[in-house]
Structure 1
Amino acid sequence: MEFGGRADFRHAEILLEGKGLVKGDAEVHVFSSDWVRHQHDKQHTYDTVCLHVVMWNDNQREYIKNSHGQCIPQLTLTKYLDTELDDLVDVIDVESYLKGKKVNPGHCQTALDNQKADEKWLGSFLDFAGDERILQKAKRYERWVEKRPFEQVLYETIMESLGYKNNKEPFLTLASRLPLEDIRYLIPEDASVQRKKLAIQSLLLGAAGLLPQQGNAISSHDKETEEYISGVEDAWRELQKKTGRASMERKDWNYAGIRPANFPERRIAAIANILSECLSLSIFRHILSVLEKVEGCQEEQKIMKTLTEHIQSLFLDISDSYWSYHYTLQGKKLTKPVKLLGKERVSHIFINVIIPILLVYARRHNNTKLEKILHLTYRNYTPLPGTSVTKFMSSRIFGQPDAQKKLITSARRQQGLYQIFKDFCENDNMSCNRCALYLSIVKR
């Protein structure tokens, strides 16, 4: 990708209907009118552009023209989107994009070096930015809740989060194809927890298209694996007759660049274990029941601690007789059990999924006490391990990655870094002059 006075993508090869293979450059804008607004129609360096890609065609034209008056075809992306834009943004793997990227100091860093803002003020700014990030997530889930119950929304968003960056969409698709209501209908409520685990695993693995009988041949396996496969496949044969839904395929799942401990099968085993423990109530109602137990308690710190510990217990204290000791159906048995979910992933789910969804619930039910507890929990939750984004932002704002330790003392402030990055630093290299952080510093 180019930065400067040339097209965004050089030497592109594009197959156009009626023209065949066309070679040239591609220019990308948010609006189609940006071509003229940026005066590319008068710049000879843009005469090599063969395709103009835009999100919105605000001037309703099929073509734009270069400095010679030649027509250049225009591709409008919104015509092909079948998902809300906010949802697509959440799927973008920003961290991979930032790896190895040179970090240029922002204008905010210079202003801070000139002591135009103290640590207390900057901390408050990051707090507000962190609140905005949670509110935006809540706004996204608010749209989901308008179409389906809270229980299903929480189930879908947890599944999406289990997919991490590589398999978000497949896990979300799986949750949509096999909704919580269907799982609850298909699994007998009076079945033992162990039977529920196996049945839910067979349902999810079968719906995901990851069972050996679905064309995923296994060359060799031990007796324990043979017994496990026999159990889930027998259960799937019976349950599949009742689902009446088409399964996904193995090719829908991404295994590249994923640690074996995080393979889809193990993530599915994790959610199956969690669901088996609280299937009659659902995960959402299970969490609410914990809050109801301490409803009479006036000590907010105690309520906050109870909520946090319960979430961690629900997601971390899970084990599986097979998947805790295996990465794949073909691999050797591990000598020691490996957790199905790590503490970092659970914290991510708590901050980015559970808190914003509970916030939507609290506001819809005018539950100010719950909203206050959520804010207190968010404000005091310790930061998650650093990512490419937080390290990038720390270098851009403070000058060095370690400088964030003094100020980034909570998950709330860490989320504030993400929000500033998303709103300004991610957009383009000229965004500093429009950055709310920089403008707020210089106006002090």
Structure 2
Amino acid sequence: MQEEFLHYVWKYGTFNTLKLKTTLGEDVTIRNLGQHNLNSGPDFFNAQLIIGEQLWAGNLEIHVKSSDWYLHNHQQDKTYDNVILHVVWEHDSDVFRNDNTIIPTLELKRYVDKGLQHKYRELMLSKSWINCEAQFPEVDDFLISNWLERLYIERLEQKSITIEGFLEKSNNNWEAVLFKMLLKNFGLKINGEAFLSIANSVDYSVIRKLRHNDLEIEALLFGQAGLLQDTIEDSHFQLLKTKYEFLKGKYKLDRSGMIPVKFFRLRPQNFPTIRLSQFASLYQSRENLFSKIVDVNSLDDFYKILTVGVSEFWKSHYTFLKNSKTSRKQLTKSFIDLLVINTIIPIKFSYAKSQGKSIDKEIFKLIQELNIENNTIVSKFLDYKPFKKNALTSQALLQMKNAYCDKNKCLNCAIGNSLIIKN
């Protein structure tokens, strides 16, 4: 038995609430189950109970065994003195407050349906990719659709916490936050953290000063990425290196703690050289980028804003050492889609939230216009059940797998919940 299951049973009242009695034989009538506390302190706040003939209002503590009270040292914490009922699965010890008055105990196993216990154990003991793999194809489509929408908003809320952290470090400069988020996501999974370390190493005021000079902003990004440290007999490399050394001295740039960029196992179009040149082109050619992003909602408008190529040298190179077939190397629509999913929408959501506005309808419309993402997690879910082929689905499924399935949070999942209480 797990404490989490007992929290679930009490929170949703999925037990026989008639003729409840404490371990000392006093009748218990529930007026209010209380509020689930997810932080430190008693498990449920502000419950209302009649124990015997006395109305009590206060907090509840839940344990698998009564003796866990002492195992967790609650007897030494005054915040537990106002516990009015100790709810346990198995009673093995009386528990006392600091004034030596006994805390009434309710042994829950007498009142929980064995079928509910069986379904919970069956789900928790599953060795499948997800616990509900066998039952997942039969889950109601309407329930899944609503749950996916909630999961997507939850994912945006989590991303907004990261954005708020960036905002605090940037003195509430949204342009600087956008710069960091975009640069990180230009690096994709392989170079995302390395690109973010570049963004964190340069004050945005420097970027603002250099943004109209494509050579200088490219030199700064390449230099901070550690791509100008070798000795290469190439005129463009030497030009960038000279320019970077000047900027490094002028703006006191520091490379300590930088994460190295990677080329290994990347397709040439995703080489850090190409992505950094595209990023430099974006900031060199687009004024007031944050304002533009906040003001537009059309996917076509985002394509227009974000479609940029590389500087002249990189049209015929992927590295400094070798020529390649000349091409503009523009950002593809699929790459821009990823930027919209992982940067633009979270930024718009967080900014609206900071303004006290809700743009959920606008966000849902935009995310549903984007194609479903192609990755192993999404593909696996698609093997179980057909879903709407849009990015809301893929983002929500990623959230469900990472935040619920992998952590056995079935009791907090609408799907797991429905399977446990079914019939």
Shift of 1:152: 1.1
Contact residue 282 and residue 308 of structure 2 kept, 8 A: no
The answer on 1:143 being equivalent to 2:165 is yes
1:217 is matched with 231
- 336, 358, 382: which is aligned to 1:346? 336
Deviations 1:347-393 (A, max 9, x none): 1221122111111111222344x554233322x22233310121233
Contact residue 317 and residue 324 of structure 2 kept, 8 A: yes
Shift of 1:237: 3.4
Shift of 1:207: 2.1
Question: How far apart are the structure 2 equivalents of 1:367 and 1:236?
Answer: 42
Q: Higher relative contact order by CA 8 Å / sep ≥ 6: 1 or 2? A: 1
What 5-or-longer segments of structure 2 have no aligned partner? 1-62, 65-71, 74-126
Shift of 1:442: 4.7
- 395, 399, 402: which is aligned to 1:415? 395
2:208 is matched with 184
1:93 is matched with none
Rate the CA distance shift 1:438–1:326 in 2: closer, same or farther, 3 A. Answer: same
- 281, 284, 307: which is aligned to 2:290? 284
- The equivalences for 1:101-180 within 5 A come to 104=128, 106-113=130-137, 115=138, 117-148=139-170, 149-180=173-204
Rate the CA distance shift 1:229–1:392 in 2: closer, same or farther, 3 A. Answer: same
The answer on 1:437 being equivalent to 2:415 is yes
Secondary structure of the 2:397 match is: helix
Instruction: Name the count of aligned residue pairs.
Output: 298
1:382 is matched with 370
Contact residue 106 and residue 432 of structure 1 kept, 8 A: no
Question: How far apart are the structure 2 equivalents of 1:255 and 1:140?
Answer: 27
The answer on 1:362 being equivalent to 2:352 is yes
1:394 is matched with 382
Contact residue 309 and residue 329 of structure 2 kept, 8 A: no
Rate the CA distance shift 1:229–1:105 in 2: closer, same or farther, 3 A. Answer: closer
Secondary structure of the 1:240 match is: helix
Shift of 1:411: 1.2
The answer on 1:426 being equivalent to 2:414 is no
- The equivalences for 1:18-57 within 5 A come to none
Contact residue 363 and residue 371 of structure 1 kept, 8 A: no
Deviations 1:296-335 (A, max 9, x none): xxxxxxxx32xx2222222223343221331111122224
Contact residue 266 and residue 327 of structure 1 kept, 8 A: yes
Shift of 1:186: 4.3
- Structure 2: which amino acid aligns with 1:366? G
1:258 is matched with 266
Identical counterparts, % of pairs: 24
TM-score by length of 2: 0.63
- Structure 2: which amino acid aligns with 1:162? F
Contact residue 141 and residue 357 of structure 1 kept, 8 A: yes
Secondary structure of the 1:384 match is: coil
The answer on 1:204 being equivalent to 2:216 is no
Select the structure of larger CA radius of gyration: 2
Greater helix proportion: 1
TM-score by length of 1: 0.60
1:17 is matched with none
What 5-or-longer segments of structure 1 have no aligned partner? 1-36, 39-57, 60-102, 221-225, 292-303
Question: How far apart are the structure 1 equivalents of 2:356 and 2:371?
Answer: 29
Deviations 1:219-262 (A, max 9, x none): x6xxxxx3422432332233222111223699822222222221
The answer on 1:315 being equivalent to 2:329 is no
